[in-house]
Amino acid sequence: MGYGAKLTSKGQTTIPIEIRKYLNLSPGDQMDFVIENGEVKIRAKTRSVMEFAGILGHAPNGVRLTIEEMSEAAAEAAAEDDRRIMRDWHRYKRAPQISDDGRSETVRKRS
């Protein structure tokens, strides 16, 4: 079954209520327009994380984490990544730089 809609001069349209209900769309939700095999498809982009609960099945080691534990693990991973980036940056700043003529030269920090 198809549903019609009108395009305005600004390129806007109203998505028919049946389609909004089917895609569970609310004001502010985002959508992707995808061209596949000569057809344009609309996919709802905004989804609650809770809709993905259980999508991967049970953890192979049987460990279950709470949202708080997952948030803590993500924060620790981000902090470790930041430490690694800073460590690499400091190594880069101390490393000898190669001049245009191919010779190594010491980089002096500007005060």
CATH 2.10.260.10 fits 1-53, yes or no: yes
Return the pLDDT at 82: 93
> Cα(77)–Cα(23) distance, rounded to whole angstroms?
34
- What backbone torsions phi and psi does residue 28 show, to the nearest 5 degrees? 95, -15
CA torsion, ordered 61, 62, 66, 68, to nearest 10 deg: -20
Overall residue count recorded for the chain in this entry = 111
Low-confidence residues in the chain, pLDDT < 70: 46-53, 97-111
Model pTM?
Answer: 0.39
Return the pLDDT at 89: 86
CB atoms closer than 10 angstroms to residue 29: 13
Amino acid at 24: N
Domain layout of the chain by residue ranges:
1-53, 63-105
Q: Which residues contact 28 (CB under 8 A, 6 or more apart)?
A: 46
Q: What angle do CA 62, 64, 67 make, to 5 degrees?
A: 165
> Cα(17)–Cα(3) distance, rounded to whole angstroms?
9
